[in-house]
């Protein structure tokens, strides 16, 4: 959900709402892990269009949303939520939140140490950091297909993944180095139905990979990737199902 300057990923909140509502719909487990309590103050990092932030606010919590995309933050504010355009690497809050929360955003932030440092500083001394994002092996088939299409079409340029998908061991170590005590961290393969199809997924989420292409080449890229993935991720019974893998954790501030 987080916009990332390095990859030129751009977000359009209206398109996101139309084709990516599954992101919030599938967040119930991380919301349960957060276990928010009435009147808690919670920071939602990479809040996107604020749909899930609003769900937490409706539970009686006081939410602050941050996202690097101005379009997403406008949408979040329209829901009556305090929200700021801030890159997740540049969080600048001090000892003010009971919890820092994030869903489907941390994999866009390629300098996890900075994000963890910002989350740690933002928390009160007994605060918790609870999040879910893409873990090692996430969208492996999608990545392979995109890589192959770029390899086969040199004029499209080189493939550079804009995502960070760590193992449990890697991320646990990052959290501990950042001063957190890890209460739980789990690796969860979660095949994810894409009801809007794979081409809309690529239009919305692979912008960082296709941004430099002409409109025509972007269309060619998307249709070639779709062709490669059809035998792997599509069936008549289930439609398109992406090979998502989640990493979900809860960690406490220790000092
Ligand atoms: C994810 O939620 O795992 C994801 C979404 C878009 C691009 C890459 C990963």
Query: Is residue 56 a part of any domain in this protein?
Result: yes
Q: 55 by DSSP, 3-state: which?
A: helix
Query: Is residue 1 a part of any domain in this protein?
Result: no
pLDDT digits (tens, 9 = 90+) for 71-80: 999 999 999 9
DSSP codes of every residue in 206-246: -HHHHTTS-HHHHHHHHHHHHHHHHHHHEETTTEEEE--EE
- Look up the CATH number of the domain holding residue 243: 3.40.50.150
Q: Is 104 in the pocket of ligand 1 (CB under 6 A)?
A: yes
CA 23 to ligand 1: nearest atom: 2
pLDDT digits (tens, 9 = 90+) for 221-236: 999 999 999 999 999 9
pLDDT digits (tens, 9 = 90+) for 102-141: 999 999 999 999 999 999 999 999 999 999 999 999 999 9
Q: Is 165 in the pocket of ligand 1 (CB under 6 A)?
A: no
**Of 187, 244, 245, 248, which is best to mutate to test ligand 1, by the most ligand atoms within 8 angstroms of its C-beta?**
244
- What is the spatial distance between Cα 69 and Cα 48, in angstroms, rounded to a whole number? 8
Decide the pairing of beta strands 82-85 and 41-45. unpaired
pLDDT digits (tens, 9 = 90+) for 183-216: 999 999 999 999 889 999 999 899 889 988 999 9
Please check the confidence at residue 6 and state whether its pLDDT lies above 50: no
Query: Is residue 7 a part of any domain in this protein?
Result: no
Average pLDDT over residues 164-169: 98
CB 133 within 8 A of CB 104: yes
- What is the spatial distance between Cα 208 and Cα 9, in angstroms, rounded to a whole number? 4
- For 104, the domain range is 13-253
Q: How far is CA 41 from CA 21, 49, 155, in A?
A: 25, 19, 49
Q: Is 52 in the pocket of ligand 1 (CB under 6 A)?
A: no
Q: Is 118 in the pocket of ligand 1 (CB under 6 A)?
A: no
Q: How much is the pLDDT for 255? A: 61
């Amino acid at each position: 959900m987080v916009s990332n300057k390095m990859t030129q990923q751009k977000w359009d909140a209206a398109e996101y709402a139309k084709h990516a509502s599954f992101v919030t719909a599938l967040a119930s487990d991380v919301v349960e892990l957060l276990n928010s309590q009435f009147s808690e103050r919670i920071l939602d990092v990479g809040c996107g269009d604020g749909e899930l932030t609003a769900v937490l606010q409706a539970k009686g919590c006081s939410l602050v949303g941050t996202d690097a995309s101005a379009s997403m933050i406008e949408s979040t504010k329209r829901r009556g939520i305090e929200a700021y355009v801030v890159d997740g690497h540049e969080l600048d809050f001090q000892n003010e939140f009971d919890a820092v929360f994030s869903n489907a955003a941390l994999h866009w932030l390629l300098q996890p140490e900075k994000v963890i440092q910002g989350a740690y500083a933002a928390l009160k001394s007994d605060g918790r950091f609870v999040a879910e994002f893409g873990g090692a092996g996430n969208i492996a088939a999608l990545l392979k297909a995109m890589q192959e299409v770029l390899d086969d079409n040199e004029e499209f340029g080189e493939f550079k993944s804009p995502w960070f998908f760590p193992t449990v061991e890697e991320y646990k170590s990052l959290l501990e180095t950042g001063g957190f005590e890890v209460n739980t961290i789990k690796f969860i393969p979660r095949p994810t139905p894409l009801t809007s199809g794979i081409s809309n997924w690529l239009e919305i989420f692979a912008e960082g990979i296709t941004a430099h292409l002409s409109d025509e080449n972007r269309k060619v890229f998307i249709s070639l990737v779709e062709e490669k993935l059809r035998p792997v991720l599509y069936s008549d019974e289930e439609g398109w199902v992406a090979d998502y893998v989640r990493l979900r954790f809860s960690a406490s501030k220790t000092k």
